[in-house]
Amino acid sequence: MNKKLIFATLAALLFAIPVTTWAQDNTVIIKLVGSQKPVMAVPDLRGSGTTQNFMGAFNDTLFGDLQNSGLFTMAPKGMYPLQVPQRPEDFRQPARPGESMGGLALADWASPPVSANFLATGYTAEQNGQIVLYGWLFDVGQPNLANAQILGKRYFGSGDEAGARSVAHQFAADILAHWGGISLYGTKIYFVSNRTGHKEIWSMDPDGSNQKQLTSFKSISIMPAISPDGSKLAFTSFASGNPAIFILSTETGRRLPFYNQRASLNATPDFTPDGKQILYASSASGYAQIYVANLDGSNLRRISSSRAIEVEPKVNPKTGNDIVFVSGRTGPQQIFRMNFDGTGVERLTNGEGEASNPSWNPNGEVMAFAWTRGFATGNFNIFLMDVASRDFNQLTHSEGRNENPSWAPDGRHLVFMSTRSGTHQIYTMLADGTQVHQLTSAGNNQTPVWGKAPNF
């Protein structure tokens, strides 16, 4: 089988699968993002001395982290009072109920036009060449300051713009933690880009910044998967001829050894939740089937057994046992589930259209995937499915081709590929389909995966 035919076959496998005729509602989305959000006021903080030079970057980062978390409704800054308390000592207690203190009373932030539930405030200063943030979080619905203060903490960063962004991320992370949220600071998105003339693996921060090329094989490297600890990257590469599994250390950039069995195709790798094994598809038996091996390719074992093409295995991050995968064993490509030992095979989708690219939510209950339900073959959208109940929700609608969803570690955000701009680009969105942000624009970019950054 020549390289073009193998790649065409592999590409066709990665864009497919359907579901059943369940009634659509919002139960899956509500489970992930909730139904009510507190109102958060985040005025622009000020800095003393040289730290004021970096406060634009600081304020953008803090507000953005909280807004993009999906946990809050952000009070518009144009509605804020003229005076902003920077520290607890700045608050004033009104002499009479309802009396305004121009922003220095808790009630000034709880009352219209702000109508906030919470206020995040503070200031920065320079100390021994570092930037120090003094940050507080207040429940402005409380009657007095003693009951209102939720958080009061110091944060340290380098005395430059990077340090300012770092302390903003840290402050935001502590605020999110109060609501059980997980900060995306310290996570990375890995993806495929052809901007250099070859399909190579790249990485970037969750907001699209700091885009870096990780591989330079000058061939075709696709379908990255990141280990749970962020230290290893597995992907499919044609650099040695037929598609094979490559492992790369994200800490050193060096390629790690991995034994690829003799086959026309070894592809679509993914790590087990403990990071000790890799699942992948191999055509060693004649058909692409699901295999599991150690991180170096040893102790190889076949899991699936059918006379059909089966690819894209993904292990449930909670149970470590349930595997979802793409199979053509009943006709058009569908999403199936099986136990880690290959038993208990069941189809999750009903044959309506095509579906592919399954991705487990960190909660181990919800799966994101691409589906052509209701559309001609090739017009994919992103859907969510509660695997136990088979309830589903559609997140993208008639905005080009939308595929390759991957969950953020917080379980509330998704990264995916879309052609809505005319080219293949990477986007993020909340699990309810809102707050869509385009992250890439150079070249064509595909198959993103979201995981931890190395050494974080």
- Each residue's pLDDT, cut to its tens digit, for the chain (456 residues) gives 444 444 444 544 443 333 333 335 566 776 677 668 999 999 999 999 999 999 999 999 999 999 999 999 999 999 999 999 999 999 998 888 888 889 999 999 999 999 999 999 999 999 999 999 999 999 999 999 999 999 999 999 999 999 999 999 999 999 999 999 999 999 999 999 999 999 999 999 999 999 999 999 999 999 999 999 999 999 999 998 999 999 999 999 999 999 999 999 999 999 999 999 999 999 999 989 999 999 999 999 999 999 999 999 999 999 999 999 999 998 888 899 999 999 999 999 888 888 899 999 999 999 999 998 766 556 899 999 999 998 888 999 888 999 999 999 999 999 999 999 999 999 999 999 999 999 999 999 999 999 988 876
Which domains are present in the chain?
Answer: 3-32+185-452 (2.120.10.30), 39-178 (3.40.50.10070)
Residue with tokens 């497919």: 16
Q: What span, in angstroms and rounded, lies between the C-alpha atoms of 322 and 337?
A: 7
Residue closest to 368 by CA, chosen among 429, 419, 318: 429
Q: Find, among 408, 364, 358, the residue nearest to 384 by Cα.
A: 358
**Pairwise CA distance, residues 217 & 212, whole Å:** 15
Give the containing element (helix H, strand E) for 47: strand 46-47
Residue showing tokens 């589903």: 392
> What's the rounded Cα separation, in Å, for the pair 76 and 114?
7
CB pairs under 8 A, 24+ apart, for 369-376? Answer: 369/17, 369/335, 369/405, 370/15, 370/16, 370/17, 370/402, 370/403, 370/404, 370/405, 371/17, 371/18, 371/19, 372/16, 372/18, 373/18, 373/19
- Calpha distance 91→105 (Å, rounded): 6
Strand ranges in 117-264 using DSSP code E only, listed in sequence order: 118-127, 130-139, 149-158, 187-193, 200-204, 212-213, 221-226, 232-237, 244-249, 255-256
Residue 92: per-residue pLDDT: 93
Token pair belonging to 92? 């004033």
- How far CA 436 is from CA of 70, 252, 363, in Å, comes to 11, 33, 22
Task: Please state, in angstroms and rounded to a whole number, the distance separating the CA atoms of residues 47 and 82.
Answer: 17
Alpha-carbon distance of 265 to 447, in angstroms, equals 18
What SS3 class is residue 158? strand
Q: pTM (2 decimals)?
A: 0.89
Torsion region of 455: left, alpha or beta (phi above 0 gives left; psi -120 to 50 gives alpha): left
Instruction: State which H helix or E strand residue 161 sits in.
Output: helix 161-178
SS (H, E, C) 383-436: EEEECCCCCEEECCCCCCCEEEEEECCCCCEEEEEECCCCCCEEEEEECCCCCC
